[in-house]
Amino acid sequence: MRVLFLSPRYPPEMRQFTRGLAEVGVEVLGVGDGSPDPELRRYLSAYLEVPSLFDEDDLIARVHAWLRGHSVDRILANWEPLVMVAARMREKFGLPGMSVDTVRGFRDKQLMKDRVAAAGLRVPRAHRVRSIKDVASAIEQIGYPAIIKPISGAGSADTYKLESAKDLERVLPQMHHVEEAICEEFISGEEYTYDTVAIDGVPVLENVTQYLPNALEMRSNEWISPIMLSVRDLEQPHIRPGLELGRQVLTALGMGDGMTHMEWFRTPAGEIVFGEIACRPGGACVVDMMNYTNDIDLFREWARVVTHRRFDAPTERKYNVGIVFKRAQGHGRIRRIAGLTEFYDRYREHIVEDTLLRPGSPRRDWKATLLSDGYLVIRHPSWDAACAMASEAATSVHLYAS
């Protein structure tokens, strides 16, 4: 089987999906906007370097010319900005996979919510907005607090909470570059993900992760050490409704084969509310957390699913897994780390990954990446123990820069 995979070198986790494809016996044709390094080239049978991945018409024309006289069996993309152009290519070349209309339901947040609501599921009240007048009209109907964000954005980029007209005046000038947005009801409550590997829209593996605090707070306050905790026991009463919601959402949106990443809320009153969903893997190490939870290789299993429509890995959930993202205090280069030695002394056997920047490394822009200045990953069969370790990493390990 020959697969065309868009952007195998970026974001960094895409090289793992490329590896997965190669390891299930697929001939991988990569298309990207830079040169692959020697390690990545091991997994590629051919590579087309293009000037830009975001000029869709030019990209399609270049790929069409490159493939002339040759055939491929699948066209795949796991990076949010490229899932639509991959669908366009599939339709142009007559290849299997989700259609442009189906993928648009996962990209256009207003269309997404309309389709999910049409299935009888609870979604935030929302309106598509293209002008200041549209925003004012939406706020009049929704009321404060509200959320405004790009209609096809990813993560929390250009996402703002509006609590008053003053907030609106402050935020709108920061969104001039956003052509189309969605203004929606703010949902207060615990925030979770629902992540799947699916075959023909039916999950063959499910995962739930809790955000501590909620995603918007994580991306809005530099002093916070964000925590994501995967839940080992999915049969808990407060978790089950989220799984049931997620399965219905996949059906409502016509999911095909691949991975999905959904966010949902549990309000203080116990109401389960859909947030949004993408037809690609979660970022910020979500796939790594799922791997650590089950002790499997989902990069390879994703590849098996999208090429052979099989999932061969065991599905036993062994651990609760916590990832704690750290942000240094100060600016410039990391000068010292406090509390890490003591943390290792207490929990060494439960620490499975440590990417914290060491002294001498320059600080990263915390607004540009949730990975921030590195992270610690811990795991434990007990939820309480995993929570306690993650909380301690968040509050007792500190990076300082100057």
Instruction: Tell whether the model's pLDDT for residue 158 goes beyond 90.
Output: no
The mean pLDDT value for 82-98 works out to 97
The candidate with the shortest Cα–Cα distance to 313, out of 324, 299, 332, is 299
pLDDT in the model for residue 215: 85
Q: Between 169 and 232, whose confidence is greater?
A: 232
- The CATH architecture of the domain made up of 125-185 is 2-Layer Sandwich (3.30)
Q: Tell me the two tokens of residue 394.
A: 């968040």
The band of 214, judged by pLDDT with boundaries at 50, 70 and 90, is confident
Q: At what angle do helices 286-294 and 298-308 cross, to 10 degrees?
A: 100
CATH topology of domain 100-117+188-318: D-amino Acid Aminotransferase; Chain A, domain 1 (3.30.470)
| Alpha-carbon gap, residue 378 to 386, rounded angstroms | 7
Residue 265: per-residue pLDDT: 97
Query: Which residue has tokens 């990493």?
Result: 393
Closest by alpha carbon to 202, among 242, 277, 255? 255
Q: Once rounded to an integer, what is the mean pLDDT over residues 77-95?
A: 97
Residues 19-45: tens digit of each pLDDT: 999 999 999 999 999 999 999 999 999
> What's the predicted TM-score (pTM) here?
0.94
Reported as a pLDDT band with limits 50, 70 and 90, residue 156 is low
Residues 138-160 have a mean pLDDT of 86
pLDDT for 175 beyond 90: no
CA dihedral 133, 139, 142, 144 (to 10 degrees): 170
> How far is it, in rounded angstroms, from Cα 221 to Cα 286?
21
The whole-number pLDDT of residue 155 equals: 62
Task: Check whether 90 has a pLDDT greater than 80.
Answer: yes
CA dihedral 178, 182, 183, 189 (to 10 degrees): -120
- pLDDT score of 153 more than 80: no
Could you tell me if 222 and 240 are in contact, meaning their C-beta atoms sit under 8 angstroms apart? no
For the chain, give the percent of residues with pLDDT over 90.
87
What tokens appear for 207 in the block?
């995962």
| DSSP-derived secondary structure for 170-187 | HHGGGGTT-SSEEEEEPP
Question: Has residue 295 got a pLDDT over 80?
Answer: yes
Q: What are the boundaries of each domain within the chain?
A: 2-97, 100-117+188-318, 125-185, 319-402
pLDDT of residue 179: 87
* Residues 6+ away with beta carbon under 8 Å from 101: none
Residue 205 is predicted with a pLDDT of 98
* Cα 218 to Cα 210: distance, rounded to the nearest angstrom: 12
Residue whose structure tokens are 């499997």: 296
Q: What stretch of H or E contains 6?
A: strand 2-6
Q: How far apart (Å, rounded) are the C-alpha atoms in residues 73 and 96?
A: 8
Q: Starting at the earlier edge strand, list the strands of the sheet with 146-150.
A: 126-129, 181-185, 146-150, 160-162
CATH 3.40.50.20 for the 2-97 domain, yes or no:
yes
| 358: Cα separation from own chain's centroid | 26
Q: Are 293 and 232 in contact (CB under 8 A)?
A: yes
Q: Cα 402 from chain centroid? A: 32
- Could you tell me which of 180, 203, 67, 185 has the C-alpha nearest to residue 134? 180
Q: Report how far residue 220's alpha carbon sits from residue 160's, in angstroms, rounded to the nearest whole number.
A: 9
Cα–Cα dist 34/65, whole Å: 19
Q: Which residue has the tokens 């893997």?
A: 281
Closest CA to 30 of 75, 79, 90: 75
* Cβ-contact 349, 264 below 8 angstroms: no
| Residue 306 clears pLDDT 70, i.e. is over it | yes
| Helix (H), strand (E) at residue 17 | helix 14-23
- Residues contacting 29, CB < 8 A, separation 6+: 2, 3, 4, 5, 44, 45, 46, 47, 48, 67, 72
For position 172, what pLDDT does the model report? 84
Each residue's pLDDT tens digit, 128-139: 999 888 988 999
